[in-house]
Structure 1
């Protein structure tokens, strides 16, 4: 598995605020600059599937691979590869949110060349926008 990008941010919002925004996939374009739309086929639950339309790209199917009270992992199926977005929250005096993007599969090298640079550029800004939305500030 090749890690493409990682971003971490801290927030005054509770972890539940982040999970609420992740669960409300129709609103992802409000804080994710690369996303045109997202549709979830069922509940926000482990094993649920959906479709994501990146701006300028083809529709992509995804599955919620893992969902706990501290972690949300979704995997998009690309031709010859799997693109994984791992979201993790932890709290001490503030909430820390980390997003890691990785890719694996025989054509992972190809998709890293095609998508990797843009994902690496946008992950930090997208996470900062998510923090602002979770804290109740317009992005």
Structure 2
């Protein structure tokens, strides 16, 4: 597995605020600058599938591989590779630390890393920062 990028931010928002934003996938383009649209086929639950359309790229299917009270992992199947976004929250007193890690695995991971790795690495922290601003505006 190859790690493409990781980002971390600390917030005053509760973990539930982040999960509310992640669950409302239709609004992802409001804080995720590289996303044109996202559609979830069912509930925000482990095993649910959906489709994401990155700006300037083809639409791609994904599955919510893991969903707990502290972690949300979605995986997109690419030709010859699996692109994983792992979102984790940890609470320390009145602060929430959010970490997003993007990784890729599979025989063609080298190709996909070359094609989109730099753009993903560049966008993860700004997208997380925008998500924090959105989550802090939510009262859960």
Same fold (TM over 0.5): yes
Q: Where does residue 96 of structure 1 map in the other structure?
A: 97
Q: CA deviation at 1:78?
A: 0.5
Name the SS for the 2:57 alignment partner: coil
Q: Where does residue 134 of structure 2 map in the other structure?
A: 133
The ranges of structure 1 where at least 4 consecutive aligned residues each deviate by more than 3 angstroms after the TM superposition are none
Gaps spanning 5+ residues in structure 1: where? none
Q: CA deviation at 1:25?
A: 0.1
Q: Where does residue 109 of structure 2 map in the other structure?
A: 108
Residues in 1 aligned to 2:60 and 2:132: alpha-carbon distance in whole angstroms = 25
Q: TM-score, normalised by structure 2?
A: 0.97
Q: TM-score, normalised by structure 1?
A: 0.98
Q: What RMSD, in angstroms, separates the aligned Cα atoms of the two structures?
A: 0.7
Q: CA deviation at 1:41?
A: 0.1
Q: Where does residue 60 of structure 2 map in the other structure?
A: 60
Q: Where does residue 34 of structure 2 map in the other structure?
A: 34
Is residue 20 of structure 1 aligned with residue 3 of structure 2?
no
